[in-house]
């Protein structure tokens, strides 16, 4: 129906057709993606036991990539066998572009690809949209060291895998402050881009769209199993009975001039919760 959007555009000379550039919502240099002021940090979220948890895990620290990759590896143009029935994913559709030094027009260097990560709870460890770009820079090196190369963002949102070949997409992206509901005049462009790309990856994909959030607090609370997995990897986890306490802990750690040492974190936790225990050690806090 919208194939004309993807056909090459003729030049006056008829000699060198130009590839039409799909609509770019945002383009980012490597320096912009790595800028510390662009980072999106963790929030306090509720567990399946109704407690609120502060998890001391920095998704921008490459030392934690292996922990995130255990359950949420970065998928690039994933085929059906890489999707899990019933699972939720966050995704971006991006290409690599370069500015023409003469015309300042965008030139396509690498075609659009789907980059997706499985999201297992509302913490979204390493699966927030900006974090996906950060992992792309570190793991794929597609921007190399050319300062003129940029990632061009064409679409972003969430995926619900009904079964490995049936995927439901939305376009909800809090990271890039897009409208929670894409205007109807734009939906035809968004859906055309997604359908074309996914059918190019695997012709047997069945693609549908639902313009509502999939990753919601009611169904994506952190589980005891996930908490145990994080603790087994040495990640400090602090439970709170009230969200207010959890936020206080988070702000205390984020407001620290340097990285807050484990002993100081525990003292902060005890102060917030009025915990009178004196034998709480970093190891005890991790494993409690």
* DSSP calls for 110-154: EEEEEEEEEE-STT-TTTSHHHHHHHHHHHH-TTTT-TTEEEEEE
Average pLDDT over residues 169-188: 68
Among the listed residues 83, 76, 43, 82, the one whose alpha carbon sits nearest the alpha carbon of residue 59? 43
Q: What is the pLDDT of residue 287?
A: 36
Q: What is the pLDDT of residue 67?
A: 95
**Would you say residue 3 has pLDDT above 70?**
no
Q: What is the pLDDT of residue 127?
A: 94
- pLDDT band at 174, cuts 50/70/90? low
- pLDDT band at 278, cuts 50/70/90? very low
Choose the CATH number for 3-38+71-209 among 3.30.450.20, 3.50.20.20, 3.40.225.10, 3.30.1300.10: 3.50.20.20
**Would you say residue 233 has pLDDT above 50?**
yes
**From CA 202, how far away is CA 180, in angstroms rounded?**
29
Q: Please state whether beta strands 88-99 and 26-29 pair in parallel, antiparallel, or not at all (unpaired).
A: unpaired
Q: How many CB atoms lie within 10 A of CB 235?
A: 17
Q: State CA 74 to chain mean position distance.
A: 9
- pLDDT band at 37, cuts 50/70/90? confident
Could you tell me the pTM of the whole model?
0.85
**Would you say residue 141 has pLDDT above 90?**
no
Q: What is the pLDDT of residue 274?
A: 87
**Would you say residue 23 has pLDDT above 70?**
yes
Q: What is the pLDDT of residue 20?
A: 58
CB-based contact 65:138 (threshold 8 Å): yes
**Would you say residue 84 has pLDDT above 90?**
yes
**Would you say residue 263 has pLDDT above 90?**
yes
- pLDDT band at 4, cuts 50/70/90? low
Two structure tokens written together for 96: 């690599």
Looking at the chain, which residues constitute the CATH 3.50.20.20 domain(s)? 3-38+71-209
CB-based contact 154:80 (threshold 8 Å): no
Q: Please, which contacts does 67-71 make with residues 24 or more away whose CB atoms are closer than 8 Å? A: 67/125, 67/230, 67/233, 67/235, 68/125, 68/126, 68/127, 70/229, 71/118, 71/120, 71/226, 71/229
């Amino acid at each position: 129906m919208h194939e004309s959007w993807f056909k090459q555009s003729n030049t006056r000379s008829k000699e060198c057709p130009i590839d039409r550039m799909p609509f770019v919502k945002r383009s980012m240099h490597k320096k912009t993606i790595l800028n510390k002021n662009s980072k999106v940090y963790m929030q306090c979220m509720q567990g399946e036991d109704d407690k609120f948890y502060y998890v001391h895990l920095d998704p921008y620290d490459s030392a934690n990539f292996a922990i995130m990759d255990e359950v949420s590896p970065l998928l690039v143009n994933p085929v059906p066998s890489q999707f899990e029935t019933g699972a939720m994913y966050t995704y971006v559709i991006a290409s690599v572009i370069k500015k023409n030094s003469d015309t300042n027009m965008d030139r396509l260097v690498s075609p659009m690809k789907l980059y997706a990560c499985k999201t297992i709870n509302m913490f979204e460890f390493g699966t927030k949209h900006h974090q996906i770009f950060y992992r792309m820079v570190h793991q794929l090196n597609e921007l190399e060291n050319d300062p003129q190369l940029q990632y061009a963002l064409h679409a972003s949102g969430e995926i619900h895998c009904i079964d490995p070949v049936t995927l439901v997409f939305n376009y909800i992206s809090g990271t890039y402050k897009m409208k929670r509901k894409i205007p109807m005049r734009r939906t035809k462009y968004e859906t055309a881009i997604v359908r074309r790309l996914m059918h190019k990856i695997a012709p047997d994909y069945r693609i549908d769209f639902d313009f509502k959030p999939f990753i919601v607090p009611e169904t994506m609370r952190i589980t005891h199993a996930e908490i145990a997995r994080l603790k087994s990897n040495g990640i400090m986890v602090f439970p709170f009975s009230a969200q207010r306490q959890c936020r206080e802990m988070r702000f205390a750690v984020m407001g620290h001039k340097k990285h807050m040492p484990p002993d100081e974190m525990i003292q902060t936790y005890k102060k917030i919760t009025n915990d009178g225990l004196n034998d709480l050690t970093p190891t005890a806090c991790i494993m409690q």
